[in-house]
Amino acid sequence: MKIKQKLNIPANFFYHKVVDSVLYDIRTQTGETLSEAQLEGYSYIKQFTKSTSARITVTKLVPDESYHYTTHSNQSDFDVKYDIKQLCEKEIEVTYQEEVASKGGFMRQMNDVLVGSILGYVRRRNFKKMLLQIEASY
């Protein structure tokens, strides 16, 4: 899935909203308080439900430009990229990309494709809504 969205906010504002959210998630999941400088390469286990967890690793962090991470579970691997392009002083273009690699063979992959296509519209709409909420909070 790939989404591009222009927002009327500075790159620094958007970037710090994302990083603050990541730092909060790490603190909630692990009890550790990290700084932004400690994020790149950091890996932790996130518990989604009592029986579902995954390892999240921050793979790239460039201030005001990008935040990338991977999520590894026993069912699939997700590569997620937030890239920020400064268009002018208070306008950016955010590119969100998500790639999924399913584990478990052909039937699991087919199931993921089917579910992904059905839920894709809803997920895109909700993601764009979240971006606009970040813009409105500026």
* pLDDT tens-digit series, residues 3-28: 999 999 999 999 999 999 999 999 99
Task: Report the domain count for the chain.
Answer: 1
Tokens of 134: 């970040």
Check: CB of residue 99 under 8 Å from CB of residue 51: no
Give the residue with greater pLDDT, 104 vs 98. 98
At residue 92, what are phi and psi to the nearest 5 degrees?
-130, 165
CATH number of the domain at 80, please: 3.30.530.20
Domain span at residue 90 reads 2-136
The pTM of the full predicted model, rounded to 2 decimals, is 0.86
